Amino acid sequence: MTVLDCVGLSCPIPVVKTKKALKEHPEGLEVLVDNVAAKENVSRFGKTMGYTVSVSDEAEGVWRVGMSK
């Protein structure tokens, strides 16, 4: 699965990068984020685009948002 690193980025940039990456990888994506707003916003984007979204802890303060069809 393609991994998009959005650690260190604040909203709305992670959503914009996720949108762009999903155009190149419509099968799905994993997005790394390090703030609550990015975790929630990227999850909302994935769900609205019709993906199944799962969130897991990656490290202290970092989440992995998985999107699959």
Partner 1 sequence: MKFGLEKNTETPFPRGDFAAAESHEKKGSIGVEGEAASRPVTVLKNGSAVRLTGMVKTSGCAAKLPPEKLHSVIDRLPLQNNPNLVEGFESADDALVYRVGDGQVSVQTVDFFPPMVDDPYIFGQVAAANAMSDIYAMGGEPAVAMNLMCFPSCLDLDVMKRILEGGLDKAREAGAVIAGGHTIEDPTPKYGLCVTGFMKESEVWSNKGARPGDCVVLTKPLGAGIINTAAKVDEAPEESVLEAVRSMTTLNKRARDIARKCQVHAATDVTGFSLSGHASEVALASGVSILIDTKSLPVMSGALSLASFGFLPEGRYSNENWLYGKVSFAPDVPQNMIDLVYDPQTSGGLLLFMPDEDARRFVSEMADPASCAVIGRVVERGGALISYS
Contacting residues toward partner 1, per CB under 8 A? 10-13, 15-16, 19-20, 35-37, 40-45, 48
Closest CA to 30 of 49, 8, 5: 5
Helices assigned H by DSSP within 1-69:
13-24, 36-48
Q: How far is the CB of 45 from partner 1 (least distance, A)?
A: 4
Q: Please pick, among 5, 7, 9, 11, the residue that the annotation labels catalytic.
A: 11
Give yes or no for a contact between 33 and 62, defined as CB atoms under 8 angstroms apart.
Answer: yes
Clarify whether 6 is annotated catalytic: no
Q: How far is the CB of 52 from partner 1 (least distance, A)?
A: 16
Catalytic residues: 11
